[in-house]
C-alpha cells in the first residue's frame, strides 16, 4: 500500500525517491450520541480501519501543491496566499489546518501533498476530520512543532469552524485522532475526559450502510439545529442557569421544559438530553456485554433523531426500517449529522450476507437508490506509516 502511494506521488510530482513521509488518519462511526457533542454532552464513537492517507514532502518552491485521488480539483497555492479560502473545494480542510498551525508558530515552506482516501465522500463517516487530522499530524511531525494529539484535535476543529465555516463539535476530530483498535471511545465533550472501552461484540459485527444520499454539512440544516439548541439553553437558563443542554438530566428537563416556549425547540432539547442519557446507558451495556440492551438504545436513538431532532429523512429511515426487519439485527440507527449519509447496525455474523441482500433490495425498492455496505473494523487513530 505504502509503495503504491509513493509511486503515485513521485509520478504526479515528478519526484525522485527521497524524503517523502506517509501518514494515515481514520474515518469514524458514532455508535450512539448524535448531536450531543456541541451541546457539551457524551458521545461514543470508534475509529475505522479505512480513512485518509497523505504523502508529504517539502520542495524548493514558494508554493504548496495539493492533489487528491478522490477529487479532480488540484491546486498550487503561493505561500503568501495560504489564508485565502478556495471556493467550495476540499482543499479548505487542509488549508484551515495550516492557518491554525501558523497561529501556533508554523512557518511553512513549499510542500507537495498527495491525499488518497477510501472513506465514501459525503457519507457522514467524517472524511473531513480525517483530512484535517492527517494534515495536522503530518505537519506537526514534519516541522517538529511538538504539539500533542489533543492539541491537534482542537485546532482541527477550529479549522473546520472558522475556515471552512461548519460549526461542528469536537467528536469527529477527537475520535479520528484518539481512536484505538478494538475499542470504542467514551468522551465527555465538555471536559474532554475520555476512556477507551473494549468493543467486545461476541458474534456480532457493526455493519455500515451507505444510503448514497449525499449530504453536505455546510449547506444542510446542521447550523440551524445548533441555533435551536442555543435558543433552548437561553430559555431554560431563565429557570435554571446552564451552559449546555447536557447540563440537565432528563428528569430536570421535564420539570422545566415549559420554559422553552416553541414546541419545535423543546423537541430539539428533548432529543439532546435524552440522547445524553442513552450514551451513559450504552457504555454501561457494552461494559457488561449486554448487546441486546445496546441494540435497543441504538433504536431509541434513531427514533429520537427522526421525531425530535428531525435530521434523518426518507433515505435514512428506509435503511433503518429495512434493517430492523432482518433476522439477527439487534439495533440500527443513523450515524453522523444526518440528512443522508450512513446507518450503523449491530448484525449477527451469520446473517451479514442476508442483511446485505435483503436490506439492499428493500432500500432500493423504497428509494430507488443503491446502498453500499461495509463491515466496520475498529482501527487505530492517526499515525505515521512506515517508520
In tens, the pLDDT along 328-377 reads: 999 999 998 888 889 999 999 999 999 999 999 999 999 999 999 999 89
CA-to-CA distance for 101 and 165, rounded, in angstroms?
17
Tens digit of each residue's pLDDT (9 = 90 or more) over 24-54:
999 999 999 999 999 999 999 999 999 999 9
Instruction: Work out the pLDDT band at 386, boundaries 50, 70, 90.
Output: confident
Tell how far CA 356 is from the center of its chain.
Answer: 23
The arithmetic mean of pLDDT across residues 165-189, rounded, is 94
The arithmetic mean of pLDDT across residues 247-261, rounded, is 98
Q: Write down the residue that cell numbers 477507551 correspond to.
A: 196
How many CB atoms lie under 10 A from the CB of residue 210?
21
The arithmetic mean of pLDDT across residues 221-242, rounded, is 94
| pTM, entire model | 0.92
pLDDT at 218 over 50: no
Percentage of the chain with pLDDT > 90? Answer: 87
pLDDT at 180 over 70: yes
Cα angle 207, 307, 352 (rounded to 5 degrees) comes to 15
- C-alpha distance across the termini of the chain, in Å: 14
Q: Could you tell me the three cell numbers for 206?
A: 457493526
The arithmetic mean of pLDDT across residues 257-261, rounded, is 97
The arithmetic mean of pLDDT across residues 164-192, rounded, is 94
Fold entry, domain 2-198+379-385: Ribosomal Protein S5; domain 2 (3.30.230)
Task: Please list, residue by residue across 60-98, b when 16 or more beta carbons sit within 10 angstroms of its beta carbon and e when fewer do.
Answer: eeebbbbbbebeeeeeebeeeeeeeeeeeebbbbbbbbb
Percentage of the chain with pLDDT > 70? Answer: 97
pLDDT at 189 over 90: yes
Indicate which residue of 112, 172, 308, 317 is catalytic: 172
Tens digit of each residue's pLDDT (9 = 90 or more) over 96-134:
999 999 999 999 999 999 999 998 766 677 789 999 999
Residue bearing the bigger pLDDT, 324 or 50: 324
Q: What is the widest separation between alpha-carbon atoms in the chain?
A: 68
CA-to-CA distance for 146 and 149, rounded, in angstroms?
10
| Alpha-helix runs per DSSP H in the chain | 2-13, 92-103, 127-142, 149-158, 171-178, 222-237, 250-256, 263-287, 291-307, 314-324, 352-367
Is there a catalytic annotation at residue 148? no
pLDDT at 212 over 90: yes
Lowest-pLDDT range, 71-75, 165-169, 184-188, 323-327?
165-169
* The pLDDT of residue 354: 98
pLDDT at 324 over 90: yes
Closest to 215 measured CA to CA, from 341, 88, 87:
341
* The pLDDT of residue 220: 64
* The pLDDT of residue 122: 64
* The pLDDT of residue 19: 87
The arithmetic mean of pLDDT across residues 295-323, rounded, is 97
Q: Give the relative orientation of helices 149-158 and 92-103 as an angle to the nearest 10 degrees.
A: 120
pLDDT at 230 over 70: yes
* The pLDDT of residue 214: 74
Instruction: Work out the pLDDT band at 203, boundaries 50, 70, 90.
Output: very high
The arithmetic mean of pLDDT across residues 310-320, rounded, is 95
Q: Which helix (H) or strand (E) holds 50?
A: strand 42-58
Q: Where are the domains of the chain?
A: 2-198+379-385
Instruction: Work out the pLDDT band at 219, boundaries 50, 70, 90.
Output: low
- Quick one: DSSP state of residue 90? T
* The pLDDT of residue 123: 66
Amino acid at each position: 500500500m505504502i509503495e503504491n502511494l509513493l509511486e503515485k506521488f513521485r509520478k504526479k510530482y515528478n519526484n525522485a525517491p527521497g524524503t517523502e513521509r506517509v501518514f494515515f488518519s481514520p474515518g469514524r462511526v458514532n455508535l450512539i450520541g448524535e448531536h450531543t457533542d456541541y451541546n457539551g454532552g457524551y458521545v461514543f464513537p470508534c475509529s475505522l480501519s479505512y480513512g485518509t492517507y497523505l504523502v508529504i514532502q517539502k520542495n524548493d518552491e514558494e508554493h504548496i501543491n495539493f492533489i487528491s485521488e478522490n477529487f479532480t480539483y488540484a491546486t498550487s497555492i503561493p505561500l503568501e496566499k495560504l489564508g485565502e479560502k478556495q471556493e467550495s473545494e476540499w482543499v479548505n480542510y487542509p488549508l484551515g489546518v495550516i492557518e491554525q498551525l501558523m497561529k501556533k508558530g508554523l512557518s511553512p515552506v513549499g510542500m507537495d501533498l498527495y491525499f488518497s482516501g477510501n472513506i465514501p465522500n459525503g457519507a457522514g463517516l467524517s472524511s473531513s476530520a480525517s483530512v484535517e487530522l492527517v494534515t495536522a499530524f503530518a505537519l506537526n511531525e514534519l516541522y517538529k512543532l511538538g504539539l500533542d494529539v489533543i492539541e491537534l484535535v482542537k485546532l482541527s476543529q477550529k479549522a473546520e469552524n472558522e475556515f471552512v465555516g461548519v460549526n461542528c463539535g469536537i467528536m469527529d476530530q477527537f475520535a479520528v485522532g484518539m481512536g484505538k483498535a478494538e475499542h470504542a471511545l467514551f468522551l465527555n465533550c465538555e471536559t474532554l475526559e475520555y476512556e477507551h472501552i473494549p468493543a467486545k461484540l461476541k458474534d456480532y459485527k457493526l455493519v455500515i450502510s451507505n444510503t448514497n444520499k449525499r449530504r453536505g454539512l455546510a449547506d444542510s440544516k446542521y447550523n440551524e439545529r445548533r441555533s435551536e439548541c442555543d435558543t433552548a439553553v437561553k430559555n431554560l437558563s431563565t429557570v435554571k442557569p446552564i451552559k449546555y443542554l447536557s447540563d440537565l438530566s432528563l428528569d430536570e428537563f421535564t420539570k422545566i421544559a415549559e420554559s422553552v416556549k416553541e414546541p419545535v425547540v423543546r423537541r430539539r432539547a428533548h432529543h439532546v438530553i435524552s440522547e445524553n442519557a442513552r450514551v451513559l446507558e450504552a457504555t454501561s451495556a457494552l461494559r457488561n456485554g449486554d448487546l441486546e440492551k445496546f441494540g435497543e438504545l441504538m433504536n431509541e436513538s434513531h427514533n429520537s433523531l427522526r421525531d425530535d431532532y428531525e435530521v434523518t429523512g426518507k433515505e435514512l429511515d428506509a435503511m433503518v426500517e429495512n434493517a430492523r426487519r432482518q433476522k439477527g439485527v439487534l439495533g440500527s440507527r443513523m450515524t453522523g449529522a444526518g440528512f443522508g449519509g450512513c446507518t450503523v447496525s449491530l448484525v449477527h455474523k451469520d446473517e451479514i450476507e442476508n442483511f446485505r441482500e435483503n436490506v439492499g433490495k428493500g432500500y432500493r425498492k423504497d428509494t430507488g437508490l443503491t446502498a453500499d455496505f461495509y463491515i466496520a473494523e475498529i482501527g487505530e487513530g492517526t499515525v505515521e506509516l512506515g517508520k
